[in-house]
């Protein structure tokens, strides 16, 4: 059984920063694809940052250069550092994991079977 739990969301002003963390229960997840997705009200869930089994990262164009995804295998933790936050970054943020082929790591939400409960990020102008 794999469980994921996010933390670190909150409210910040435009230009601010937040760090999200995702604790996972099984060490085997460290060899899986992992990702951060977000979903704003009335919008589809979108992937923002991905990290594959070799630690290669991929970002959505909207967050490239501002967000950084990383993984600490010794602590079973996935992180997302978010800088220069903008109001359009406001959303519920979810971490996700699955045992996927590398070519599927940066795919859509449907590729991932394991999800956390989400953490809310609100950015005011």
Mean pLDDT for the stretch of residues 74-101: 96
- Computed over every residue of the chain, the mean pLDDT equals 95
* Residue 1 confidence (pLDDT): 83
Handedness of CA 35, 23, 115, 102 (dihedral sign): positive
Mean pLDDT for the stretch of residues 72-77: 93
Share above pLDDT 70 across residues of the chain, in percent, rounded to a whole number:
100
Mean pLDDT for the stretch of residues 75-80: 96
Handedness of CA 41, 7, 55, 1 (dihedral sign): negative
* Residue 28 confidence (pLDDT): 86
pLDDT band at 26 (very low <50, low <70, confident <90, very high): confident
Mean pLDDT for the stretch of residues 7-23: 97
Residues 6 or more apart whose Cβ sits within 8 Å of residue 12: 18, 85, 121, 122, 123, 124
pLDDT band at 27 (very low <50, low <70, confident <90, very high): confident
């Amino acid at each position: 059984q794999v469980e994921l739990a996010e933390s670190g969301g909150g409210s910040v002003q435009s230009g601010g920063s937040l760090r999200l963390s995702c604790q996972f229960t099984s060490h085997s997840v460290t060899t899986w694809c992992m990702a951060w997705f977000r979903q704003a009200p009335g919008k589809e869930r979108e992937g923002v940052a991905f990290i594959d089994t070799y630690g290669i990262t991929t970002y959505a164009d909207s967050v490239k250069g501002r967000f950084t995804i990383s993984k600490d295998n010794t602590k079973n933790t996935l992180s997302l550092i978010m800088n220069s936050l903008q109001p359009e970054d406001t959303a519920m943020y979810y971490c996700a994991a699955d045992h996927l082929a590398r070519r599927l790591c940066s795919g859509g939400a449907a590729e991932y079977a394991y999800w956390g409960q989400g953490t809310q990020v609100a950015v005011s102008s």
